Amino acid sequence: MNKHYDYLIVGAGLYGAVFAYEAMANGKTCLVIDKRGHIGGNIYTENREGINVHIYGAHIFHTSDKKVWDYINRFAEFNNYVNSPVARYHDELYNLPFNMNTFHGLWGVKTPKEAKEKIKEQTDKLGITEPKNLEEQALSLVGEDIYKKLIKEYTEKQWGRDCKDLPSFIIKRLPLRFTYDNNYFNDPYQGIPKGGYTQIIEKMLDGADILVNTDYFDFIKKNDGIADKTVFTGMIDEFFGFKYGPLEYRSVRFETETLDEENYQGNAVVNYTSHEVDFTRIIEHKHFEFGKQPKTIISREYSQEWHNGIEPYYPLNDDKNSALYAKYKELADKEDKVIFGGRLGNYSYFDMDKVILAAFGAVRSEFSKTTAD
C-alpha cells in the first residue's frame, strides 16, 4: 500500500470506530484494520432467520450519560428493551438483579423492611467489616443465601477462580435494591439498536479505508510508517511482545443453535447459577428486539481461560494482573505516536458507554473537542 494516512486504527470495534468517526469529522484520513473477517469487534451482530444474533455475546446498551446516549442514537434507532435476566439455580428461578422479587422468591418476605431484616440477620452473623475479596464483598452485602444460590458458583464458572481470589469491584456491578424492579441496570438510558449493532459501526466508519482479515503485527512489518499515528485496541501486552509476561484474560465460547420453535426460554437472558451445568447463561437473541419469527436462535455461553489463538473478552483485573498492567501502561505512556484504547488496549472491564467516553477522551486530546461537545 502506498497511500499515507493520518491514523492507522487497529481494531474495528466500538473504540476504534468512534475515534475514526471523530478523526474524519476533523478532516483526517483513517485506515482501519481488523484481524477478523468483519467490522464491529465484539458488538458485531449478524442477521440469521430474521434475528439479529449477538455473535460475541449479549450487548445491552445502557448509560447514565445523556451525551453518550444522544451520540449512539445518531447511528441507530434504539428500542425500549430493559434487561431483566432470570437466574436458574437447579429447579428454582429467581429474578435479577437482587430486588424484592428475588427476596420474596427466596424467603417469602413481602416488604422491604422484612427483606432488610433477613439480610441483616445473615450479614451480622458473619461480621465482615472490610471485605477483602469478592466473596467477602458479596457476603457482606447480601448474606449467605443469595451468595450461595446466585453468586458463588456462577462467578466461579465465569472467572474460573475461587471467589476469594477475585476483586470485589466485579460484584458491585450488580444493583441491590428494595423495590420490585427487575431492571438489571440503574442507568436512565437503555436499549438495543433496532436492526443490530453492525450498522452503527458501518456508519461510523463511512469514509475510512477498511481492511479485514488483517493482522496488525504482519501488516506493520510490510507497511511501517503508513500513518502518522496508530490507535491500537488490541491486547496491550501483545503490542509490547509480552515483554513482562502475559496478562490474563477470560474468553467465552458460544454454542449457538437454531431451534424450530418460536420461544425457547421466554427471556433474552437466563443465567445458570449452579455448577450443575457448565455454561453460565443462555441468550435467546430474538427477545432483545421482541422478535416474532417462527424460529429462534439461542447461544449457550461457556467461560474459559484465554490462550493464544482464541479471542480475549474480559481482562482479569486482580492485584497480580493490575500490577503487571501498570508496567505495560508505563511503556504505553512513552509511545507518543500510539493511542491505546478499548477493553484490551486499556485492560479494563469497560461497558460500551465507557468505551465511548474513553474514545472521547482520546479525541479531545487530539482535536480539543468531540462532535458531541
| Site residues, ligand UDP (CB under 6 A) | 87, 96, 150-151, 154-155, 158, 170-171, 173-174, 271, 273
**Smaller CB separation from ligand UDP, 112 or 160:** 160
Whether 364 is a known active-site residue: answer no
Non-local (6+) Cβ contacts of 340 within 8 A are 232, 233, 236, 239, 332, 346
- Smallest distance, ligand UDP to C-beta of residue 314, A: 7
List 48, 161, 250, 300, catalytic entry: 250
What's the closest the beta carbon of residue 135 comes to ligand UDP, in angstroms? Answer: 11
Question: Which residues are paired to 230 by β-bridges?
Answer: 8, 338
When the beta carbons of 22 and 353 are compared against ligand UDP, the nearer one is 353
d(CA 210, CA 33): 6
The nearest distance, CB 257 to ligand UDP, in angstroms, is: 21
Asked about 261 being catalytic, the answer comes back as no
Pick from 297, 303, 75, 300: nearest CA to 198 = 75
Task: List the catalytic residue out of 135, 281, 328, 366.
Answer: 281
State in angstroms the smallest separation of the CB of 214 from ligand UDP: 28
Between 158 and 321, whose beta carbon lies closer to ligand UDP? 158
366 catalytic residue (yes or no) = no
Q: Report which DSSP code applies to 273.
A: -
| Closest C-alpha among 83, 16, 97 to residue 54 | 83
Q: What nine digits make up the cell of 9? A: 486504527
Peptide bond into 85 cis (omega under 30): no
| Residue of 301, 325, 328, 347 marked active site | 301
Least distance in Å: CB of 288 to ligand UDP? Answer: 13
* 242: CB partners within 8 A, 6+ apart: none
Of 244, 264, 314, 349, the catalytic one is 349
Cβ proximity to ligand UDP: between 176 and 324 the closer is: 176
Q: Which three cell numbers stand for residue 71?
A: 451520540
Spatial neighbors of 270 by CB under 8 A, at least 6 apart, are: 85, 86, 87, 88, 281, 282, 284
Between 77 and 92, CB nearer to ligand UDP? 92
**End-to-end Cα distance, the chain:** 35
Q: Please identify which residue in the block is written with the cell numbers 440477620.
A: 121
Q: Check 173, 253, 255, 262 and give the catalytic one.
A: 173
Q: What is the dihedral of CA 101, 102, 103, 104, to 10 degrees?
A: 50
Q: How far is the CB of 173 from ligand UDP (least distance, A)?
A: 4
Q: Is 161 a catalytic residue?
A: no
44 is catalytic: no
- Give 52 or 274: the residue with its C-beta nearer to ligand UDP: 274
The catalytic residue positions are 173, 177, 250, 281, 301, 349, 351
